[in-house]
Structure 1
């Protein structure tokens, strides 16, 4: 099986690099709120992050990989105040917009990571730590020659499973049929993950409709969800 490092060498990242200017409001909250809410991956000290200290409380923590402009993240945080929501994104404007949502709703259960989530999981998250991982509409890399760049691969699924606590969940959603099939194939082959359904999951009503999902619907693409639970290895 490929290792995570081999996947990285193949050009797999949890993001697509963009260069977009921040608005005045986004710049404002970046200056005022980022020192409390956010951390940059390259500035983290070696070792596992103390999530309870970062959030200021011990609570189940869910990592969202690729939070985009943060509207769905904010809605999920409003709906589940008892959960710590950690949003990983490289796009500064997206993180700035999420901080505006945090400000608007008065949220204290959201933290932000700027950097690649693959490296964060590997280098800074202790095994058995997370209550959940969410990956909604990751870059589909639709051209066949680019499929090797897709995020959801066997070594990635193994890494995520290792960082989930027993009973933790992995929730995937995509509107690209062949990527959905590959996600299903990859996760079904991971021994630490168990599908909550017989194949595709019904779309959860609590998952906000993202702009990517709305666009997919308008263009006639079917969105598919997958929900997996981390199981305890036999003999543990």
Structure 2
């Protein structure tokens, strides 16, 4: 596998994290879901050692959507249910969120969802190039303090890695409720030579992205929500 990432997998421990490790208190339902369903639907990214074939995880070969930071999983479950021809691989570090999504997957009978625990960028590094139909980065940690901006996931080196895993014509869709981060995202994505801005700026709110509790709290607090939709240059496969 050819990689655009300048850091080999062996350097994981020295990388700057783009997320806060989180466990949190789980309900009895969530604990039960994690215990029962993780062996069937879960993937521990720390266990990956070398290239990773998503078809082995899903039991089929289909177009793949990567959800980075799926939160409690409500939006992922809604999108996957409405889009059965594509597979959804949701990455999260918040244990209650992982357990909640596993429960939703089971209760709704969603065969096209798998849930990964760990650093999404390590997972992306293990994926083959041009293997993703879409990458969703919805409401990532804004790391608002200037000294922490280096931890943001949407920065040039990470965007180049994500773009390399998109198939030609694939979509990179970001959303944030932090205006300063939105401007930084737009500048970073626009500067990538192989990404095309679909809307020539911030996108109208896409109907396919469900409104989550997190987004409603942001709107209630008076913060605007910004969507950015970019395509990888080239004709779709």
TM-score, L = length of structure 1: 0.91
* Structure 2 unaligned regions, length at least 5: none
Residue aligned with 2:160, SS: helix
Specify the alignment match of 1:224 in structure 2: 226
Match of 1:172 among 150, 171, 174: 174
User: What CA RMSD, in Å, does the superposition of the two structures yield over aligned residues?
Assistant: 2.0
Residue aligned with 2:33, SS: helix
1:52-87 Cα distance to aligned partner (Å, 9 max, x none):
121111111000000111011101111111110000
Specify the alignment match of 1:95 in structure 2: 98
Matches within 5 A, 1:1-236: 5=7, 11-13=16-18, 15-44=19-48, 46-122=49-125, 124-232=126-234
Counterparts of 2:15 and 2:37, CA distance in 1: 36
8 Å CA contact 1:68, 1:94 repeated in 2: yes
Counterparts of 2:52 and 2:46, CA distance in 1: 13
* Structure 1 unaligned regions, length at least 5: none
**Deviation of 1:11 (Å):** 2.6
Counterparts of 1:174 and 1:120, CA distance in 2: 22
Aligned residues: 229
- Relative to structure 1, the CA distance from residue 142 to residue 94 in structure 2 (aligned partners, 3 Å threshold; closer, same or farther) is same
8 Å CA contact 1:10, 1:148 repeated in 2: no
- Relative to structure 1, the CA distance from residue 95 to residue 19 in structure 2 (aligned partners, 3 Å threshold; closer, same or farther) is closer
**Deviation of 1:3 (Å):** 6.0
Counterparts of 1:74 and 1:9, CA distance in 2: 34
8 Å CA contact 2:22, 2:95 repeated in 1: no
